[in-house]
Amino acid sequence: MIGFNRDEKGTLFCDDVDLNDIAKEYGTPTYVYSASHIAGQYKKLEGALSKEMGDKALPLLCYACKANSHLAVLKLLKNLGAGLEVVSGGELERGLKAGFTPEKIVMTGVGKQAHEIARAIEVGIGSLNIESIEEIRHVGIISQDLQKPVNILFRVNPDVSGGGHEKISTGRKRDKFGISIDRIREAYKQAQHYNTLNIKGLSMHVGSQIFEVGAFEKAFKKIAELVTELRSEGLPVTTLDIGGGFPIAYEEDDGALDLDSYARWVHEIISPLGVDIVMEPGRFFVGNGGILLTKTIMVKKTPEVDFLVVDAAMNDLIRPTLYEAYHEIAPIQQDKEKQATPHHIVGPVCETGDTFAKDRNIQPCAEGELVAIMSAGAYGFVMASNYNTRGLPAQVMVQGEEHSLIKKRQSFEDLIEGEDIPSWV
Ligand SMILES: Cc1ncc(COP(=O)(O)O)c(C=O)c1O
């Protein structure tokens, strides 16, 4: 089996591994990832593109590792031929450690710091995606000081609204990202002052979890028009990075992204420009390839609500409280005899916001019973914190019948490492 499926007895498995066994061996809360699912998603996107465009003109799929930057996930995608999109010096180091060649790494970020820019230039990064007119000067001076050329793309803010939530829309004029279309010529002019800046073209990223797939088409058309105009003015565009944002299904009704339409738009709108194409999918590769495995502490009954209190909390998975995100939540052992009833599903953190779901129908769970918070492979562990002095959860990767602990649970000692009490306290 690939990914998360139930057997005939109603037990949830990750690939061929019973999640009860994972909990027994590694404890809870634990993130569990299916390597086969992640690889399958990569191949699905690559397949849809190659059906339209053939193998030669295939875009470079730079995995946006902010979604899940575990080294094992990076290595898995690198082995399949992916490139990498990073937004910090830390992510760049992860990419290099996982074995990505620097030319296949692109760096975005609205506030890249001098040390991050310098390191990226020194290792020979594929491109720096510049997010403002001001940043041109930062990158220009550093590359001149280092006497090392660097490829740059201007991240265009296309003023297209896309993204499943206010907090993950990035392509509108009022968002902090990118350079507005009417200032792109100014960006070329500024960058031409630095002989170490190789202007390769443009990048964009409209937002995340974009269900209105038409938003992609709209943004592609806008950027294609811009490329044609710039070229007619003698301004070069040889690379186009069209970002990520492909949605995944968090609930059954979500459906799936029409990859074929997406690939057709890339082929029909972008390919004729004759540019090297880069994409930055994150969530699509990993989102449904992970769950957060948790255990019922108790069911707290009140006159108004039954609270299912589990041992995972908002510090482990912040998406529900940060984005009001929906995650399917299901017991590991399904029992069709048991009638599902409404519960608020909450963690132990001292915040009312520590709520994974409200009035969610779920079969009654006994103390100690295991529960899966589904679709937690993207923007899950990477956003976890130590709030309430809770150690970070463990992470486990599964492939077929194999499973490995890929990050041990953080102990109290790990958690306070580096903390010091001054002698004068
Ligand atoms: C610049 C950039 N590229 C790619 C992504 C990945 O988006 P997604 O995970 O929705 O594919 C993001 C996400 O925020 C982003 O900011």
Q: Is residue 424 part of a domain?
A: no
Q: Does residue 10 sit in the same domain as residue 81? A: no
> Ligand 1 in contact with 245 (CB < 6 A)?
yes
Calpha distance 391→411 (Å, rounded): 6
**Is residue 132 assigned to a domain?**
yes
359 and 409, same domain (yes or no): yes
Question: DSSP states of 196-237 as a string?
Answer: TEEEEEEE---BSS---THHHHHHHHHHHHHHHHHHHTT---
Which helix (H) or strand (E) segment holds residue 114: the answer is helix 114-123
84 lines ligand 1 (CB under 6 A): no
Per this entry, what is the length of the chain? 425
Instruction: Decide if 59 contacts 85 (C-beta within 8 A).
Output: no
Residue 422 lies in a domain: no
Query: In the numeric block, which tokens belong to residue 412?
Result: 């109290």
Annotated catalytic residue, options 14, 65, 350, 365 = 350
Q: In this structure, what are the phi and psi dihedrals at residue 298, rounded to the nearest 5 degrees?
A: -170, 165
CB 230 within 8 A of CB 184: yes
Position 347 scores a pLDDT of: 98
350 a catalytic residue: yes
Inside any domain, residue 418: no
166 CA distance to ligand 1 centroid (A)? Answer: 14
Residue 352: CATH number of its domain? 2.40.37.10
Phi-psi map region of 310: left, alpha, beta (phi>0 left; psi -120 to 50 alpha): beta
> pLDDT tens track of the chain, all 425 residues?
999 999 999 999 999 999 999 999 999 999 999 999 999 999 999 999 999 998 878 999 999 999 999 999 999 999 999 999 999 999 999 999 999 999 999 999 999 999 999 999 999 999 999 999 999 999 999 999 999 999 999 999 888 766 556 665 666 666 788 999 999 999 999 999 999 999 999 999 988 888 777 888 888 999 999 999 999 999 999 999 999 999 999 998 777 778 998 899 999 999 999 999 999 999 999 999 999 999 999 999 999 999 999 999 999 999 999 999 999 999 999 999 999 999 999 999 999 999 999 999 999 999 999 999 999 999 999 999 999 999 999 999 999 999 999 999 999 999 999 999 999 99
Tell me, in angstroms, the distance from the centre of ligand 1 to residue 405's CA. Answer: 27
**Residue 19, domain extent:** 4-34+287-413
Give pLDDT, residue 170.
61
Judge if 200 and 297 occupy the same domain.
Answer: no
- Number of the ligand 1 atom closest to the C-alpha atom of 287: 9
**Is 137 a domain residue?**
yes
Distances in whole angstroms, Cα of residue 16 to Cα of each of 42, 291, 370, 383, 400: 20, 15, 18, 28, 5
Same structural domain, 247 and 332: no
Contact 153, 62 (CB under 8 A): no
Out of 62, 66, 240, give the residue to mutate to test ligand 1, the one with the largest number of ligand atoms within 8 Å of its CB. 66
**Residue 314 within a domain:** yes
Q: Which amino acid is at 230?
A: L
Boundary residue ending a domain (240, 270, 285): 285
218, 275: one domain = yes
Sorted by sequence, the CB contacts under 8 Å of residue 43 that are 6+ apart come out as: 80
The answer to whether residues 212 and 317 belong to one domain is no
Q: Is residue 423 part of a domain?
A: no
Ligand 1 near 262 CB (within 6 A): no
- Atom 16 of ligand 1, nearest CA residue: 205
State the pLDDT at residue 255: 72
Q: Which residue type is seen at 288? A: N
Answer yes or no: is the C-beta of 155 below 6 A from any ligand 1 atom: no
* Same domain (yes/no): 117, 22: no
CATH code of residue 171: 3.20.20.10
Residue where one domain finishes, among candidates 255, 285, 315: 285
C-alpha dist (Å) from residue 158 to 155, 188, 224: 9, 17, 11
Which residue among 63, 68, 179, 208 has the greatest number of ligand 1 atoms within 8 angstroms of its CB, and so is best to mutate?
Answer: 208
Q: How many domains does the chain have?
A: 2
